[in-house]
Amino acid sequence: MIGGAHSTVQAEEVNFITDFGFNGRHAYYYVALDKGYYENEGLDVSILRGEGSVDAIKKVGAGAADIGFADTGSLVLARGNDGVPVKLAAIVYASPPQALYALADSGITEPKDLEGKTIADTASSSIRVLFPAYAKAAGIDADKVEWVAAESASLPTLLATGRADAIGQFIVGEPLLAKAAAPNDLSRLAYKDVLDYYGNGIIASDETIETNPGMVKAFIRATIKGMEDAFADPEEAAEILAKYQKQIAPEVGKGETEAVAELAQVPGMRLGEIDPVRVENTVEVISENFQLNTEVDPKDVYAPGFVE
């Protein structure tokens, strides 16, 4: 847990949970923390370790965290099947970040090559949750792929040692994975190659959005400042992150921040701004590929007006 500094005026305590772990892709949150952007908004932010998007959504919905970072597709499933009262308040990954990685010499170069193979990932990862949609769009049989649950920290080793044919990993995690796999090259199968939907964004519960919109706006405002700084100087962002999470090598933090910038920056859209049409696309992808207990209205997935 990382806490911001206290000012003379009592700051509002905010627990923020990541999608999973602490990684280079989260550098901009630490930039906002380190440069006092949260503090300037009257917020005392603690950054909590998540264990997958599904975990983050549940914790935000239950009030165990005030704000979270999670996958939009997983949010649609959570609303439709479990009635989890959580909405997207700002988007970060405007393109799908999910991907599957294999070693280049494994023979896995296209989706069809995954049949008969084993993929390792965390139990609640959005990559695993959305795999049936990817398989359908790519024209492969999802039932011919075996999934093995593993801790996120062990995934690069499982791939590098051949104990899994492929692993789930966000594109923003590629720099760390490439370092672990060296001198082997990687083969990437990206969900964005066959699917069009939103990736991760900043989430809050319906109750928090209704009763404390000022806090949500303030958090997003400060985070976007952190994003702007991080994207302008990924090297600095990596150095800041390393002060808080010493296990993350600066070159990995820099590479992941650059990958986030690619996913987050959309011509004609402000950072964080939610496009209602893209939300509709996301709901459509999920609805077409999953059984939802309750039909999900795209307007129930996001809260407009929180990106200024």
Predicted confidence at residue 289, as pLDDT, reads 77
73 φ, ψ to 5°? -60, -40
Say yes or no: 44 and 187 in one domain.
no
Predicted confidence at residue 123, as pLDDT, reads 86
- 3-class DSSP state for residue 71? strand
Predicted confidence at residue 155, as pLDDT, reads 93
**Count of domains observed in the chain:** 2
Say yes or no: 230 and 272 in one domain.
yes
**Among candidate residues 145, 161, 193, the one where a domain is terminated:** 193
Predicted confidence at residue 1, as pLDDT, reads 45
- 3-class DSSP state for residue 66? coil
Say yes or no: 59 and 206 in one domain.
yes
Say yes or no: 241 and 188 in one domain.
no
**Any domain includes 144:** yes
**Any domain includes 305:** no
**Any domain includes 306:** no
DSSP string, 95-126: S--EEEEEEGGGS--SGGGGTT-EEEE-TT-H
Say yes or no: 185 and 201 in one domain.
no
Say yes or no: 201 and 296 in one domain.
yes
Say yes or no: 179 and 227 in one domain.
no
Say yes or no: 72 and 218 in one domain.
yes
Q: How many C-alpha atoms does 266 have within 13 Å on its Cβ side?
A: 17
**Among candidate residues 159, 193, 227, the one where a domain is terminated:** 193
**Any domain includes 295:** yes
**Any domain includes 157:** yes
Say yes or no: 90 and 119 in one domain.
no
Say yes or no: 295 and 153 in one domain.
no
Q: Tell me whether the omega of the peptide bond preceding residue 96 falls within 30 degrees of 0, making it cis.
A: no
| Alpha-carbon separation of residue 15 from 4, 20, 131, 206 (angstroms) | 11, 15, 30, 16
**Mean pLDDT, 10 residues at a time, the chain of 308 residues:** 54 96 95 98 97 94 97 94 97 94 96 98 86 93 96 91 94 87 94 90 98 98 98 98 95 94 91 96 88 94 96
**Any domain includes 308:** no
- 3-class DSSP state for residue 189? strand
Say yes or no: 82 and 218 in one domain.
yes
**Any domain includes 44:** yes
| Alpha-carbon separation of residue 247 from 21, 24, 244, 253 (angstroms) | 12, 10, 9, 10
**Any domain includes 41:** yes
Cα three-residue angle 175-236-53, rounded to 5 degrees: 50
Which CATH number covers residue 107?
A: 3.40.190.10
Say yes or no: 104 and 65 in one domain.
no
**Host domain of residue 19:** 2-95+197-300
**Among candidate residues 193, 208, 241, the one where a domain is terminated:** 193
As a whole number of angstroms, the distance between CA 308 and CA 306 comes to: 6
Q: Where are the beta strands (DSSP E) in the chain?
A: 2-3, 12-17, 43-48, 67-71, 86-91, 98-103, 118-121, 146-149, 166-170, 186-190, 200-205
Q: In sequence order, what are the residues at sequence separation of 6 or more whose Cβ sits closer than 8 angstroms to the Cβ of residue 157?
A: 163, 180
Say what the pTM is.
Answer: 0.83
Predicted confidence at residue 8, as pLDDT, reads 55
